Copies of this chain bind each other. A is one copy, B any other.
Amino acid sequence: MKSKIGLVVGGSGSLGSQVVSVFKRNGWKILNIDVNQNDKADVNIQLSKEKKIQDQISLIHETTKSFSTNFDSIICTAGGFDMGSIREATLFEKYERLDKMNAQSALLAGHLAAHYLGEQGFICLTGAASVFEGPTNYAFAYGITKSATHALALHLSERTDIPASSTVCTILPTMIDNEANRQAMPNDDKSSWLPPEKIAELLKAWAEGENRPQNGSFAKLSYKNQCVIPEFL
């Protein structure tokens, strides 16, 4: 059987590295785009944190194109979180950082999909349940930049620039069980936190066409009975 071909934006993060591992275990060829390398990926495009994406886009296109021009799936797992109100002094620094992590990463995934996604391709972006369900004034820059991701998904799912047979889906995780969240909330009950590996297994199934949601879906992810449950909003 021919290997399926995937691109992960943010494939070195807590969710992304699990996506790379699960997809690799299932025989996929994976290109990872991130500021850090992931040795499990077949090829890495290591972005510079200091440079703008527009100053690295030629290199990104070159390496992506030589990896494949017919991806089965493009997944963006990049993202960042930070607390802080609209009032606080570091608002604009936070906005710049989170815009790059949340909105521009999704923009990159969509841009590459417009060039290299194949027929019946699967695009998955990572939004946030908390933002989708209501204002998050305690994390203002996070809320605005994740809202931009959601708007991007709505635009992309019109499929004006990607194959008409492709599917755009946005996952809206509740709390993910990763190191950063464990350190930030050491005393919380973690039994309902989403294990990244199990999210990755769900995405693998959807990417392979099993039980794939319809185009334009927003899937809130919860964790119950040791199972990741998607709820479509």
- Oligomer copy total: 2
Residue in B90, B115, B137 whose beta carbon sits within 8 Å of that of A87 in the complex: B115
Known: A54-B92, A144-B148, A144-B151. 5 other contacts (CB 8 A): A54-B90, A87-B161, A136-B155, A138-B160, A144-B152
Also in contact, A143 and B151, with CB within 8 A (given A54-B92, A111-B86) = yes
Q: Which of A41-57 contact B (CB under 8 A)?
A: 52-54, 57
The bracket for how many chain A residues form the interface is: 35 or more
Q: How far is the CB of A110 from chain B (nearest CB, A)?
A: 5
Q: How far is the CB of A93 from chain B (nearest CB, A)?
A: 5
Decide: B155 and A144 in contact? CB cutoff 8 A.
Answer: yes
- Confirm or deny: A154 has a beta carbon within 8 angstroms of a beta carbon on chain B: yes
Q: How far is the CB of A197 from chain B (nearest CB, A)?
A: 31
Q: How far is the CA of A156 from the CA of B54 in the complex (A)?
A: 31
Residue in B53, B92, B158 whose beta carbon sits within 8 Å of that of A52 in the complex: B92
Query: What is the predominant secondary structure among interface residues of chain A facing chain B?
Result: helix
Residue of B nearest to A106 (CB): B144
Of A57, A151, A156, A160, which is in contact with the most chain B CB atoms at under 10 Å from its CB?
Answer: A151
Q: How far is the CA of A147 from the CA of B52 in the complex (A)?
A: 22
Chain B residues lying within 8 Å of A103, measured Cβ to Cβ, are 144, 148
Decide: B158 and A54 in contact? CB cutoff 8 A.
Answer: no
Q: How far is the CA of A192 from the CA of B136 in the complex (A)?
A: 38
Of A86, A91, A150, A151, which is in contact with the most chain B CB atoms at under 10 Å from its CB?
Answer: A86
